[in-house]
A and B are shown apart, each in its own frame.
Chain A
């Protein structure tokens, strides 16, 4: 598959408060494939927004290069094929939802009212399209933002913290919309520090901390290394000890024995052994590694502030 976004050693530095310069984005190598939802994760101040602004040509890299849909960043033609939802966006409050789409549509030369209404329907705002933005809730504002981001039928969307500051219901609406974008074949680049959100929808992620990418890859691969807990009763401790499972712990509980082992081990082998001794398996609980664990691990190991 072709790359939707590719950066090579992309760097942005600012003058530091004391002396010298600081690399806010530091030799970044990003690779986002077409058609995927890519999560760009990092604590506040990690350099996410700065990276997105560089990719959009709003600010200029200090060094390195970047390509968006195969074109070098800053190429105006690409702006017809992409869209951007800024962090905590603001829309001209005196406009109605419909007027807002008209305004942004005219920036592309789009004047088709039926299209505006269809987009408002998609984000479930068609009943509120004659209300002004100042009367919209935060979630509604974010949805009208997503509607305007679809005006040009973009191949690639940049969403900067799209669920920041929203309540759980609004979260869910936004999440479902983002998933529908992927189903329509669009590439979605989401920056976020809300991991539970991203975990649910992203195909691949990069974790950035202090401008440096700490991890990048498929979510399923990054989250490998979970553990499984098997609790059983009516079997001797020696039986489970003799299985010689690497990296496993055996604990004696009131209700029986609990074996805690890496998920790579086959739980069926353990269960068979227990049952062959007429033991009873009480529970098998996978303790999957969560993005949050990975995140905390990555960020604290590298000495990040959060």
Chain B
């Protein structure tokens, strides 16, 4: 346990010093800071547009950070031979992989918390609102995105146990985009009576085996009162449990592959 934690916190120490990640984070923060001043905001739907813009930036930037952070994580350890020093100590490979993953998640938490704090502050300043409930409501978005990004990180770490970083990059981004944009489409294909059986089966397979990233896109219900989620708490709990279970499965599969692999 101590070893896992040491590996995780070292990973955080490295991640928060990676210039690429810091620059992306900075760009994200900048976007959020200037958002209230953007002229594109029409007076009437100002708040709605502002909210969705801020949430969109937070999600997009977090996804980019999550992928860049994790795709090179294991290959870098091998290339720099730091992994050998670690594995020659009484550290099992699963401990190494779990430590690396937890480090990635902790780094994401740190960076996303920072972005969310800036978002909350800017929203507060722009609205001049003392309405804490509205800000808290808005922050539910990043919380669900955090689960989403943790799942995305697990996908990348899983792939990194057997494919090269560049391939991993496209695979992970692909799985994410399919999950975010096409999952609803596949869902409707699956549910539609008129769909051909074969297509239905394929849609079912995609929906079942690929992680459903669309679950976590909670911006619409958060912004539009009309489309609010029924039984919100249960929904959030449900998708969090789904995420954790999926992450565990990915990590176990990753460990099984990594254990047999030559490093």
Contacts and interface: CB of A to CB of B under 8 A. Distances in A.
Nearest to B84: A86
Interface stretch (A52-60, A116-124, A253-261): A52-60
Given A76-B90, A103-B6, A84 B85 contact: yes
Interface string A69-104: 000000011011011111111111011000000011
Given A53-B84, A84-B84, A86-B85, A107 B263 contact: no
B88 A92 contact: no
Tell me which of B10, B17, B88 has the highest count of chain A C-beta atoms within 10 A of its own C-beta: B88
A107 B6 contact: yes
Contact of B90 (A53, A59, A95, A107): A107
B86 interface: yes
A94 B13 contact: yes
Given A90-B81, A94-B13, A59 B89 contact: no
Contacts of A85: 85
A168 interface: no
Interface in B86-100: 86-92
A37 B6 CA distance: 33
Given A59-B263, A60-B262, A90 B82 contact: yes
B14 A92 contact: yes
Contacts of B262: 58-60
A305 to B, nearest CB: 24
B84 A58 contact: yes
A76 B95 CA distance: 13
Nearest to B5: A106
Interface residues of B, number: 23
A91 B10 CA distance: 11
B20 to A, nearest CB: 15
Contacts of A94: 13-14, 17
Interface string A187-201: 000000000000000
A13 to B, nearest CB: 12
Contact of B81 (A56, A76, A87, A158): A87
B122 interface: no
Given A58-B87, A82-B88, A90-B81, A103 B263 contact: no
Contacts of A79: 88-91
Which interface residue of B10, B17, B80, B89 has the most chain A CB atoms within 10 A? B89
7 contacts: A57-B87, A58-B88, A87-B81, A90-B80, A92-B82, A106-B2, A158-B88
Given A79-B88, A89-B85, 16 more contacts: A76-B92, A79-B89, A84-B88, A86-B81, A86-B85, A91-B82, A94-B14, A94-B17, A95-B10, A103-B10, A106-B3, A106-B6, A107-B91, A108-B89, A108-B90, A158-B88
Interface of A: 53, 56-60, 76-77, 79-80, 82-92, 94-95, 103-104, 106-109, 148, 152, 158
